[in-house]
Structure 1
Amino acid sequence: MKRLLRSKANFEILEGFLSELLGEDILVLDILESESNKERRSDKFNRVDLKVKNRKGEIIIIEVQFERELDYLQRMLYGTSRVITEHQKEGEAYAKLVKVISVNILYFDLGHGTDYIYHGTTSFTGTHDHDKLQLNISQQKQFGKSQINHIYPEYYLIRINNFNRMATTSLDEWIYFLKNEEIKDEFKAKGIQKAKQSFSLMSMPEEEQLAYARYQDDLRYEASLVESNYGLGRMEGKEEGRIEGKLEVANRLVEKGMSAEEAAAVAGIDAELLRH
């Protein structure tokens, strides 16, 4: 899963997962290297699996954790604090502090609760009147934020072991995949079918992965020849040739024992084409 999300060639997958989780259209600008990862490789509490920057300038850190850690909540706090200080320039005003979103994919039971996704934010509630403290107009203009919780780090806890139901929402489809390593043909979540294609490829034996890589190289070479020799105006039949080439690759994968659905996902074609 870490390898699938980390691939710079597959931003579409990471963007799809984050868009469904955060409920907004996420555009990933870059996958960043954490300074704490560089400085102290032996410090497991500093390390993050993935750190990305979105178009709003926010930093999203993603951790995939399999082993139980009783103090994982404190580790989350430490991780977001470290990222904030990494991105604070010397002498820069506090108003410029970067917003951090911490996404934690957990394969162990953390805390006590019945849900499988928990969202943590910061708010201030009046002791006597029980009202929520809000930003005034000047603060909203200065910070570029409409609410106080938009300033502070946000935390998402995805407790994979607690997901024990059918996928009924697009976000559920991603959680189902994270738990079962399976993506059904009918899943429609953003980026999920691209994830299916890439995951099927990663699951192939090394020999078949190399064969598919050679096929992709051949496609790129042929496309370059077409553009160089004939120009963009003389490419009749190119799309038909691409489909035939993909069908050929898919049929070879089926002959080697892969299911029609998996082979179609890897080749990037509709499984129905293989059945006819």
Structure 2
Amino acid sequence: MLAKPLISFDYAIKYLLKNKGDYDIIEGFISALLAIQGYKPVKINALLDGESNKETAELKRSIADLVVEDEDGNKYIVEIERTLTANFMHKACFNTSRLVVDSIYGNQNYTAIKKVFHISLLYFSKKEMNKPIYHGKTIIHEIDTENPIDMRIANQGFVVYEHHNVFPEYFFISVLSFNGVINNELDEWLYVMKHSDTREDFKSLYMKKVAERLSILKMSTEERNAYYYYVKEAMQAQDMLTAAKIQGKEEGREEGKIQGEKIGIEKGKRAERYTTVDLLRKKACLSACG
């Protein structure tokens, strides 16, 4: 275990992307993640400007939007974001939709759409998520069969593409759900995400450089201050979410109390009406019997 603490992984991505010499660390993480779905290793080609679309700049705050390329020349957009809210799927859908729109804006050539890989780093507890990594994508199949089909379509330029290379793919990483057991390279990345640390027994070629580059004590004063500001902002965001949940529960309890009182009053009135009716019936019966 390292004596010097590492900065949080989500901030590390932003920090490392400032220097092209550190791109290989981010490339190693993305490649290890994509490999579980059969994709080849990738290299970073370019960084997309997350602030280019001012319409959604405040709504869409990704850690990084990257253009990557594999060894076969296939280019993809990779979006990485930190998420503190349980509405992470809605946020992922919104962000990838904006990326697709932005990638063809002004061109209107829909076949130019790059495939988007969305990666959400989830930093909250959710009992339904007992595994650290979840993956999702659109699968097309015939109505009368469950077997997926693999459509190959050629556009006017005779470029052939497959439908699964058009629709976005989503990776949701539940950081807090990782159990700490290291079985492969991706587990080492999960360990770093959860503990902001590395171990001496890690086998990934990137981990030594991760430890060297991400030590807080090796940052400049300006870099360290920027990191502490980032942590403060993240903690404030978490506090706001917690406060909103507490307020929601309190408002729910108060609303429930009011509704309960209304129901109780209504039941009391009904009971009073029934009692009055019963008394009248009894009086009528006694008069008839007398």
1:5 alignment partner in structure 2:
13
1:150 alignment partner in structure 2:
165
| Distance in 2 separating the partners of 1:134 and 1:169 | 31
- Change in CA separation of 1:190 and 1:78 when aligned onto 2, cut-off 3 Å: farther
| Distance in 2 separating the partners of 1:51 and 1:70 | 22
1:19 alignment partner in structure 2:
31
- Change in CA separation of 1:73 and 1:36 when aligned onto 2, cut-off 3 Å: farther
Displacement of 1:11 after TM fit?
0.4
- Change in CA separation of 1:132 and 1:40 when aligned onto 2, cut-off 3 Å: closer
Displacement of 1:95 after TM fit?
1.2
Once the two structures are superposed, residues 240-265 of structure 1 have per-residue CA deviations (whole angstroms, 9 ceiling, x without a partner) of xxxxxxxxxxxxxxxxxxxxxxxxxx
1:98 alignment partner in structure 2:
114
Please tell me the residue identity of whatever aligns with 1:16: G
Q: Secondary structure at the match of 1:78?
A: helix
Displacement of 1:106 after TM fit?
0.8
- Change in CA separation of 1:154 and 1:77 when aligned onto 2, cut-off 3 Å: same
Runs of 4+ more than 6 Å apart: none
Contact 2:115–2:168 at 8 Å: present in 1 too? yes
TM-score by length of 2: 0.63
Contact 2:152–2:163 at 8 Å: present in 1 too? no
Please tell me the residue identity of whatever aligns with 1:3: Y
| Distance in 2 separating the partners of 1:31 and 1:61 | 10
| Distance in 2 separating the partners of 1:185 and 1:173 | 11
Contact 1:177–1:183 at 8 Å: present in 2 too? yes
Q: Does 1:187 align with 2:205?
A: no
Kindly, what percent of the aligned residue pairs are identical? Answer: 24
Give the 5 Å matches for 1:200-239: 200=215, 202-204=216-218
1:176 alignment partner in structure 2:
191
Q: Which runs of 5+ in 1 are unaligned?
A: 211-276
1:57 alignment partner in structure 2:
75
Q: Does 1:199 align with 2:214?
A: yes
- Change in CA separation of 1:170 and 1:184 when aligned onto 2, cut-off 3 Å: same
- Change in CA separation of 1:110 and 1:93 when aligned onto 2, cut-off 3 Å: farther
Q: Secondary structure at the match of 2:11?
A: helix
Contact 2:66–2:77 at 8 Å: present in 1 too? yes
| Distance in 2 separating the partners of 1:98 and 1:120 | 17
Contact 1:119–1:154 at 8 Å: present in 2 too? yes
Q: Secondary structure at the match of 1:58?
A: strand
Report the count of equivalent residues: 202
Please tell me the residue identity of whatever aligns with 2:113: L
TM-score by length of 1: 0.66
Contact 2:129–2:177 at 8 Å: present in 1 too? no
| Distance in 2 separating the partners of 1:143 and 1:173 | 39
- Change in CA separation of 1:150 and 1:81 when aligned onto 2, cut-off 3 Å: same
Please tell me the residue identity of whatever aligns with 1:48: S
| Rg comparison, structure with higher value | 2
| Distance in 2 separating the partners of 1:27 and 1:144 | 23
Report which structure shows greater RCO (CA 8 Å, sep ≥6).
2
1:119 alignment partner in structure 2:
135
Displacement of 1:189 after TM fit?
2.1
CA RMSD across the alignment: 2.5
Displacement of 1:143 after TM fit?
5.1
| Distance in 1 separating the partners of 2:213 and 2:53 | 27
- Change in CA separation of 1:205 and 1:76 when aligned onto 2, cut-off 3 Å: closer
Displacement of 1:39 after TM fit?
4.6
- Change in CA separation of 1:50 and 1:63 when aligned onto 2, cut-off 3 Å: same
Q: Which moved more, 1:125-134 or 1:75-84?
A: 125-134
